[in-house]
Structure 1
Amino acid sequence: MPAAMLRSSPLLTDGRALLDAERLLHAGVADRRASFELAFTAMPPHTGFLVVAGVEAALDALALTDARLDAGAVFAAREACGLSDALVERLAGAPISVDIDAMPDGTIAFPGTPVVAVEGPFIEALLVGALLVPALRRGTAAATRAARLHIAADGGAVVDGSSARVPFAEEALALARAAHVGGAAATTSALAATALGIPFRGEAGIELGELAPPPSPLEGSWPWYADRMVDLGGREEEALLLEARRVGTTAGGWIATGLAEPEGAPPAVRYELVALEEAGAWALRQGTSDRGDVIAGRKMVARYYDEAGRAACDVIHLAHERMLAPRSLGAARLAPLARAVMRGGHALEAPEPPSAGRERSIAARQLLPHAVAHLRAPARYPVQLSPALIALREPDPPSSLR
């Protein structure tokens, strides 16, 4: 029963985060308003962009809490982790009164840019981060790999064959959503097809030998051959797909079964404190311990587009700073990348279907400079700091993050 309680309370599953919450409480800062940002800090080798995914899955998990920490789950966590009575009293039944701004699933992002911003009582913002980090790390890794397979397929259908192999429903649905957001056209998971509305595609794989019915008269003919599904095998799927296309292999769909498996270094992600309430005003912070590699201040990101509509650069601004005029960067227009998704612990919008994220990611990818989307030795997309952020980083103010 205690384990079941914790499974239904996603903010209480990370014991180290709970111990960090103890330290905040003992330091007397647990209820000060804090601002955290989640950003990717590095991409896998030969990767020119990331496809954000995991935001909707994390919001779904937060929705299960009904914007409140379950008292029974808090007591169960106390028994497991030795939490203090003071922390239990602070958390049991407490509302999750955080505000979240996030880039929606399917947004193209780059290292150093804030993908999610969380504001609220220090202790709650900390616990929310323990949910967001793994959700976005895994989701973005899977979506980015699916996007690369979509590029490699060059118009061919990529089919998520990975989520059907995940034994636990919530993880399977999160993976299927991320794969579809990245570009997978369909899934072999009956669960994902039913729950998320992702198109189902699959073929029977059992070999019956002499028990098999007579072969179809179409078997071996061109229409049958062209529509068959090819399983990429789960390892080095991108390279295998490129080689299959090089030698002229034709398929009705390429089944990716390794989207949940690590292949090289996953995207590195960091969730850091960037501002803390002091005497009723925001004080800039570089992490909880003033790390020199953390950019302080509450921020927002805008993407600038040229006259042809192609993405030209991203600029990170302070939250209340006037955004740079597009003309000052030789661009035609700009668009903020994040939007408000939660206020006071309550979602602002109905859940978004995975198909919306897929449409967003494919459309945004087509607007990137062509060389940024190369599968080998991609060009670097420019990400810049605004003048106000550069001034904060003096005396050594870098003008670009990459």
Structure 2
Amino acid sequence: MKQKIKRIITIGSMIIVMISSIIPVSASETIGNLNVSKSTLVYGEDGNISSLDQNIQVSSEKKVLTLDKAINVAIGNSEKLALKSNEIKMYKDKRDLQEKTNDYYEAIGQKIYDYPYDKLELQEKQTEQSKAFMEDQIASDITNKYSDMILKEIEINKLKRNLELKKIDLDFMKGKLKLGMATSNQFIDAQIDIKSLQDEITAKENSLNNNKDYFKVLTDLDLKNTYSLDYNVDYTKFKIDGSVDEYINDKIDKYVKYDSEILKLTKDYMKELKDDGIKEIMDKDVEKMPDKSSFITANTDGTSTFDSGSYALKLIDYQQKQQEYYTKLNAYGEYIDGKYNLGTAQVKLDDTKKNLKNGLKESYSTLLDLENKIDTLKEQAYSTNTKLSFAKAQVDMGLMLENDYDKQIVESEDLDTALRKLIYTHNNLRDSIEKPWILGN
């Protein structure tokens, strides 16, 4: 649980690093034979971004794989979810067995405690809830992997366009070299720069291919040959209506619902044991085995008679009392362990709830700050696109080389990518507030 809380807090702290590297945005143009992508921000009536669509050329033979479809397939393929279903059945079977056990003890006249059966019933419900939580965890994991692949594709696409521009610059430099306007060292450095960029593209493509391979393991969906990613992303501002404390408390209560209920059930059971005088067994001595000689009577003729029937009944009574004594000893031993474990569990549960609440409140504050950053980036995007329009006019008037303008377009796309990253982070953080259990293992 401590690891979950640390992950909640860490998400917020990493965002500051991300924001510090932001540069402005993009437009759609053509560089040579390459179609330059453009990130289109689509605004809703409330000013929220309803989608962020980046037009990347994809083979028409590929089908677009939506995030929702990927999530549903991954959930259907999950072996862990199948195990959860088996675990639920196990608790049902154990409840049936416990019911038979209770019937047996009732038949022999021993006191029946409802605790074992009631605990199994709660454990079954807890496992059903855990299965639902696991589906949310899978959805979150697939979403993060899906988003990461989109960002890698965007980065590779940008690097390839940069490579094309550098090759154009190299061709210009060849002419300058002949005219003495460039040195051979500058030409060699440009070639090295191109080779370095080619190597970077190869490394990133290999990494992306590995991601797609693993994604296929999780979903059975082939992103290399059959499917392409959907670049649309939803963004809506998130605001807690009413008391933040009450909202977070409700989420935490749902998260630890069955831990709390099992703890309460155990407390009630411990009280019942105490009220039944469980400790009194320590004041009783172990009954001795019946003396066989006391069932022998002397006859007048000097012989003796052994009353085997009475002895057998006494022996049976002794064995029943021994069994009862042993059961109570075990029960008292469990009571001692249970009393200690109960106190420990209560402290851990209270500590978990407190730390989780602090982590979620911190995440919510970070989320609101993120939304302000996103608003700022939207304004920067508008400003940058205005500047690019002015630069395009300079190109049309012959005041700027088209290749230099193309470079500005590619560089400006960093803002679109940064905005997309912030939106992904925002949505991930929002999900962790709405569903804190997604950070579990």
TM-score with structure 2 length normalisation? Answer: 0.21
Which structure has the highest strand share of the two?
A: 1
Which structure has the highest helix share of the two?
A: 2
TM-score with structure 1 length normalisation? Answer: 0.22
